[in-house]
Amino acid sequence: MPIKRYGTPAKPGALPFARAVAAGGWLFVSGQVPRDAEGEIVEGNITVQATVALNNLKAAVEAAGYSMRDVVRVSAWLDDPRDFAGFNKVYARYFEAEHAPARVCVQARMMSDIRVEVDCVAYKES
């Protein structure tokens, strides 16, 4: 069973990680943060940053040929636990109740000046 990597670094010396990796029907999407197409952090409250991060997650899932209905697990990290309710409102726009993935959401100190990071695992029959 081949392993396929999506969004690997194009320039020499870039960090060696893929945006997503598929193997045997499984798709593992790296943590997505609120960065725009130029790689700049999008400033804003949890609604703004969660929307950008989840749009980036969705784009990674779809670029690999999967859909959000194929997502079976989501991990979310919030910088401030007071953002939990706001994050949930945005999150609910990306997943249907009948296709809800398992999820964990924890507070974490972020590596950059961001409020949220999300990753996921998806599966579909090959």
In tens, the pLDDT along 89-106 reads: 999 999 999 999 999 999
Position 112 confidence tier, pLDDT thresholds 50, 70, 90:
confident
The mean pLDDT of 105-110, rounded to a whole number, is 95
Of the ranges 27-31, 66-70, 98-102, 108-112, which one carries the lowest mean pLDDT score?
Answer: 108-112
First to last CA, the chain: 10
Distances (CA, A) of 79 to 33, 66, 82, 120: 12, 29, 9, 18
pLDDT score, position 84 = 98
% of the chain surpassing 90 pLDDT: 83
**Closest listed residue to residue 108, CA positions, set 83, 91, 88:** 83
Q: Is the pLDDT of residue 16 over 90?
A: no
CA dist 84 and 93 (Å) reads 15
pLDDT score, position 104 = 98
Provide the edge-to-edge strand list for the sheet that holds 71-78: 3-6, 20-23, 26-32, 116-123, 71-78, 102-107
- Number of other CB atoms surrounding residue 115 within 10 Å: 24
Q: Which long-range contacts (CB under 8 A, 24 or more apart) does 1-4 make?
A: 4/64
Q: How does DSSP classify residue 38?
A: T
Please state, rounded to an integer, the average pLDDT across all residues of the chain: 94
Angle between helices 46-63 and 84-91 (to 10 degrees): 40
CA dist 54 and 116 (Å) reads 10
Position 111 confidence tier, pLDDT thresholds 50, 70, 90:
confident
- Please indicate, yes or no, whether the overall pTM of this predicted structure exceeds 0.85: yes
Position 119 confidence tier, pLDDT thresholds 50, 70, 90:
very high
